[in-house]
Amino acid sequence: METVATLLANAEKVLITGHVKADGDCLGTESVLFHLCKAMGKDVRVMNPDAPDSRFAFLAEYCDFEVFDQEVGIPTFDLAFVCDCSVLSRLGALGVELAAASGNRVVVDHHPLDQAEPGLWQAMILEPTAAASGLLAVRFAEHLGVELPLPALEAAFAAIAADTGWFKYSNADSPAWECAAKLVEGGVVPDTLYRAIHQNSLQEHPKGIGLALSNVEYFSEGRVAMTKISQAELQSAGAILDDTDEVLDILRAVKTVDAVAVLLERTGGSVKASLRSKVDTDVRAIATRLGGGGHVRASGISFQEGVSLEEAWDLLRRELCI
């Protein structure tokens, strides 16, 4: 972390960004780093490929999440933090500009590093065994001796909770619990955050969950559960399904099931798949083969433009049912 600390100390303008469709860990990590840089007197901006998930709107009360505009481009920077991923292609067009920019680039991530383009990163805060990238951001602040304000502590807790399934997944290890305990001691109220994130949905959301569950199919003698949801189905039912975690958890609760996949057609026709497993299936390996990534027990895929929902379904089913 010392190299990163030196780069930050010498930087005046800091850019913080993350992957497309940023999740709670990505947004939380960005927010922690934003408050850290503010406390150090830096000129800091947070800019993502798209707007943040509405469930984490409370983070935006204290952190301005800008949306990348290709016509305007990214701002000049001395140092850029890329959060929760180490592959710039996952930042879309923003990543292309970031790769061509002259400033220093640092990755803050807890995903395994498959390969790094030479010269792409000037430094890394990378720990694949960490429960969340947000935990690494907290450790960096501790390393610098910077006291974080309450909004940053809440962001860190949200990041860790998001990637541990509120501390019920296998990656909820003792360092994750220890960090969470410190955050609570600092003033974080977990049930308040839980209500803000998970009990603030629109009336159309339960309809989306019901639609997804009605489309479930089981394969490999019940070991694999898959479902898919098209935009046409959502519109016809007057439903929305921005978050598929609840569907994943319900399917993973089935006794015979080890691997779960939820495929969601986004507005515009692109397809996203979320994968989870309990014990035996390495969903990261499957996701990687199809252009995605993540962790052994939780991964995702954003299929290339032009791949239909049915085509994505067939590709994923073949991989899961080997």
Q: Which of 139, 168, 198 is the last residue of a domain?
A: 198
* pLDDT value of residue 115: 65
Per-residue model confidence as pLDDT tens for the chain (322 residues): 899 999 999 999 999 999 988 999 999 999 999 999 999 999 999 999 999 888 898 999 999 999 999 999 999 999 999 999 988 888 989 999 999 999 999 999 999 886 666 678 999 999 999 999 999 999 999 999 999 999 999 999 999 999 999 999 889 999 999 999 999 999 999 999 999 999 988 899 999 999 999 999 999 999 999 999 999 999 999 999 988 989 999 999 999 999 999 999 988 899 999 999 999 999 999 999 998 888 899 999 989 889 999 999 999 999 999 7
Distance CA 24, CA 158 (A): 6
* pLDDT value of residue 276: 95
Q: Are residues 306 and 160 in the same domain?
A: no
The whole-model pTM stands at 0.89
Q: Are residues 171 and 218 in the same domain?
A: no
Q: Are residues 14 and 45 in the same domain?
A: yes
Q: Which of 182, 198, 214 is the last residue of a domain?
A: 198
Distance CA 28, CA 44 (A): 16
Q: Are residues 87 and 155 in the same domain?
A: yes
Q: Are residues 189 and 60 in the same domain?
A: yes
Q: Which of 139, 150, 124 is nearest to 175 (CA)?
A: 139
* pLDDT value of residue 9: 97
Q: Are residues 128 and 221 in the same domain?
A: no
Q: Are residues 134 and 153 in the same domain?
A: yes
What pLDDT digit, counting tens, does each position of 104-163 carry? 999 999 998 866 666 789 999 999 999 999 999 999 999 999 999 999 999 999 999 999
Q: Are residues 71 and 170 in the same domain?
A: yes
Distance CA 58, CA 177 (A): 23
Number of domains in the chain: 2
Q: Are residues 142 and 271 in the same domain?
A: no
- Joined together, the tokens standing for residue 170 give 């296998």
Q: Are residues 28 and 151 in the same domain?
A: yes
* pLDDT value of residue 295: 86
Q: Which of 133, 165, 198 is the last residue of a domain?
A: 198
* pLDDT value of residue 167: 95
Q: Are residues 249 and 162 in the same domain?
A: no
Distance CA 287, CA 282 (A): 9
What pLDDT digit, counting tens, does each position of 42-52 carry? 999 999 999 98
Distance CA 184, CA 204 (A): 33
Q: Which of 304, 306, 256 is nearest to 281 (CA)?
A: 256
Distance CA 29, CA 18 (A): 9
* pLDDT value of residue 118: 65
Q: Are residues 182 and 225 in the same domain?
A: no
Whole-number Cα distances in Å, 179 to 138, 167, 285: 8, 12, 29
Q: Spell out a b/e string for 282-295, using b for 16 or more CB atoms within 10 Å of the CB, else e.
A: ebbebbbebebbbb
Q: Which domain holds residue 120?
A: 2-198
User: What is the helix, strand, coil percentage profile of the chain, to 5?
Assistant: 45, 20, 40
Q: Where on the phi/psi map is residue 196: left (φ > 0), alpha (ψ -120 to 50), or beta?
A: alpha
Q: Domain holding 116: CATH number? A: 3.90.1640.10
Q: Domain holding 315: CATH number? A: 3.10.310.30
